């Protein structure tokens, strides 16, 4: 196995967890990352139980719990009345070692893994190395990357593309990334303010309903994340302005509208998927392979699930199994991306943005009925915690 070279493009959560599981299985890996260091960007903040279970053996899950905020109970909350539909993940205690959502920045995971991989004898991470061209052939892949202004030619037996939504590898192969853009975009602010002092019965994760709109309010260790949709006719700069941001914050808490805005992020929401995750010696995972709305926090989690599944399939191939085994990786993870992650996140997107009063009332009644019925409540959380999608993945032949 030591003779077979594996290169991963992209040191995000998908690429790094894959590098970890391969190196731990005895596979030497090279990781190329265009950024100079692990980016501390404002992206995922929710780790689901199924992901923490996968990250437990290495100790990463426990280290993340130390750095984040476990949230066992989370809610939909009607702002005006204080009525709520509370989901309690304690009912998953027989299904997972982590019966809670962990609110923690994704860079905490990428920093932890990078530190461990840099000390790993089987892993080399090249930062500041941007992959520019990819030419696959029957036995491997020729690629070039730029590092410190030099163009470097590189060859590997397997190229694993974890280079995110704008994947250069995907573009180099000329693959279609079909799907759609959701009509409404989103803005997330990171605020230095204690919302618990303003809103009675606030929990760590709250989907807050006002009569005509929705906000999500999530607690991290020292900050809160506040997410909303800008007005449809608003351009990006005015939507991100202090004035617009503070206007939105004031609707939820007038006291918080003067809070320090530590960062702000505007993003367009896509739902896309490759028709095949495997193209000869090039295999895709994470955002390079599929995109979904962040509602419900499943993109990073599913990229980590891809990485685990890909390592499970690639390691036997590197040990001599027939490469056609990788087709099962594609079947499993493409099915989950389309039928579970996209379906559930699109449902969450639509639920959060519904503004018709009668439809909202129907959604609210459904949420109330769900939390009131122990069977439906657990069923809902098995989906949301991504435990069911992992079970389903493993049942796909
Ligand atoms: C505001 C926001 C909130 C989110 N919240 C959640 C959440 O709570 N839970 C959740 O599960 N998901 C969430 N997501 C989605 C999540 O952030 C992504 O799904 C996740 O980052 C995908 O990981 P990845 O490793 O596949 O790709 P990325 O994180 O995009 O990593 C790709 C890496 O590849 C590198 N790269 C790109 N091109 C090249 C190249 N040519 N050469 C070398 N390196 C290259 C990039 O620099 C990057 O480091 C959120 C997204 C946003 C925007």
366 CA distance to ligand 1 middle (Å): 33
Ligand 1, closest atom to CA 303? 26
Residues 361-368: what's their mean pLDDT?
A: 95
- Is the predicted pLDDT of residue 1 greater than 60, yes or no? no
- Is the predicted pLDDT of residue 40 greater than 90, yes or no? no
pLDDT tens digits along 328-347? 999 999 999 999 999 999 99
pLDDT for 157 = 97
101 CA distance to ligand 1 middle (Å): 19
pLDDT for 95 = 98
- Is the predicted pLDDT of residue 24 greater than 60, yes or no? yes
| Predicted structure pTM score | 0.97
pLDDT for 183 = 86
Residues 11-32: what's their mean pLDDT?
A: 98
pLDDT for 2 = 46
Residue that the structure tokens 């809610």 belong to = 75
pLDDT for 232 = 83
pLDDT for 3 = 66
Strands (E), 269-389: 270-273, 278-279, 282-284, 290-291
- Is the predicted pLDDT of residue 239 greater than 60, yes or no? yes
- Is the predicted pLDDT of residue 391 greater than 70, yes or no? yes
| Whole-number Å distance between alpha carbons of 103 and 353 | 22
Q: Are 189 and 264 in contact (CB under 8 A)?
A: yes
pLDDT tens digits along 324-333? 999 999 999 9
Residues 202-209: what's their mean pLDDT?
A: 96
pLDDT for 324 = 94
If one counts every other C-beta atom within 10 angstroms of the C-beta of residue 260, the result is 9
* Percent over 70 (pLDDT), the chain: 99
Which residues lie closer than 8 Å to 161 by C-beta, 6 or more apart?
Answer: 9, 10, 167, 169, 170, 282, 283, 284, 285, 288, 289
Q: Are 57 and 186 in contact (CB under 8 A)?
A: no
Residues 64-82: what's their mean pLDDT?
A: 96
pLDDT for 252 = 95
* Sheet of strand 158-161, all strands in order from the earlier edge strand to the far edge: 123-127, 29-33, 6-9, 158-161, 282-284, 278-279
For residue 179, which of 338, 328, 297, 285 has the smallest C-alpha distance?
A: 338
Which residue, by CA, sits nearest to atom 1 of ligand 1? 43
164 CA distance to ligand 1 middle (Å): 5
Pocket-forming residues, ligand 1, beta carbon under 6 Å = 9-15, 32-35, 39, 43-46, 106, 130-131, 162-164, 168, 188, 265, 267, 286-287, 294, 297-301, 303
Share in percent of the chain as helix, strand, coil (round to 5): 40, 25, 30
291 CA distance to ligand 1 middle (Å): 10
287 CA distance to ligand 1 middle (Å): 6
- Is the predicted pLDDT of residue 212 greater than 70, yes or no? yes
Which residue, by CA, sits nearest to atom 2 of ligand 1? 43
Residues 52-66: what's their mean pLDDT?
A: 98
Average pLDDT value over all residues in the chain: 96
- Is the predicted pLDDT of residue 251 greater than 60, yes or no? yes
Sorting pLDDT into bands at 50, 70 and 90, what band is 353? confident
Q: Are 38 and 107 in contact (CB under 8 A)?
A: yes
Ligand 1, closest atom to CA 289? 26
Please give the C-alpha separations between residue 92 and each of 73, 80, 104, 134, 379, in angstroms, as whole numbers: 12, 31, 20, 44, 10
Element at 134 (helix H, strand E): strand 129-136
Residues 250-278: what's their mean pLDDT?
A: 95
Which residues lie closer than 8 Å to 295 by C-beta, 6 or more apart?
Answer: 345, 348, 349, 351, 352
Domains of the chain: 6-71+95-179+271-353 (3.50.50.60), 186-267 (3.30.9.10)
């Amino acid at each position: 196995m030591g003779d077979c070279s594996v290169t991963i493009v992209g040191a995000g959560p998908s690429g790094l967890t894959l590098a970890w599981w391969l190196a731990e299985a005895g596979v030497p890996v090279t990781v190329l990352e265009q950024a100079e260091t692990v980016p501390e960007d404002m992206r995922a903040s929710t780790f689901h139980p199924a992901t923490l279970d996968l990250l437990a053996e290495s100790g990463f899950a426990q280290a993340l719990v130390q750095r984040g905020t476990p949230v066992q109970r989370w809610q939909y909350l009607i702002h005006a009345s204080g009525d709520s539909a509370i989901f309690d993940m304690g009912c998953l205690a027989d299904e997972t070692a982590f019966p809670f959502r962990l609110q923690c920045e994704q860079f905490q995971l990428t920093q932890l893994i990078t530190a461990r991989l840099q000390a790993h004898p089987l892993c080399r991470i090249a930062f500041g190395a941007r992959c520019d061209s990819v030419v696959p052939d029957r036995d491997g892949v020729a690629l070039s990357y730029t590092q410190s202004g030099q163009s470097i030619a590189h060859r590997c037996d397997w190229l694993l593309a974890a280079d995110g939504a704008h994947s250069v590898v995907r573009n180099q192969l000329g693959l279609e990334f079909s799907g759609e853009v959701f009509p409404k975009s989103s803005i997330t602010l990171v605020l230095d303010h204690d919302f618990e002092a303003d809103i009675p019965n606030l929990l760590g994760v709250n989907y807050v309903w006002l009569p005509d709109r929705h906000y999500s309010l999530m607690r991290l260790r020292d900050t809160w994340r506040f997410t909303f949709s800008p007005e449809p006719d608003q351009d990006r700069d005015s939507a991100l302005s202090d004035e617009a941001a503070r206007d939105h914050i004031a609707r939820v808490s007038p006291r918080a509208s003067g809070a320090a805005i530590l960062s702000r992020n505007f993003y367009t929401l896509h739902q896309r998927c490759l028709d095949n995750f495997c193209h000869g010696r090039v295999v895709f995972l994470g955002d390079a392979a599929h995109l979904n709305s962040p509602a419900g926090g499943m993109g990073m989690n599913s990229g980590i699930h891809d990485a685990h599944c890909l390592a499970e399939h690639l390691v036997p191939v590197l040990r001599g199994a027939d490469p056609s085994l990788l087709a099962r990786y594609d079947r499993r993870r493409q099915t989950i991306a389309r039928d579970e992650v996209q379906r559930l996140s699109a449902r969450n997107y639509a639920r959060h943005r519904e503004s018709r009063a009668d439809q909202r009332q129907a959604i609210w009644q459904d949420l109330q009925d769900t939390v009131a019925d122990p069977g439906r409540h657990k069923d809902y959380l098995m989906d949301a915690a991504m435990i069911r999608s992992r079970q389903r993945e493993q049942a796909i032949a």
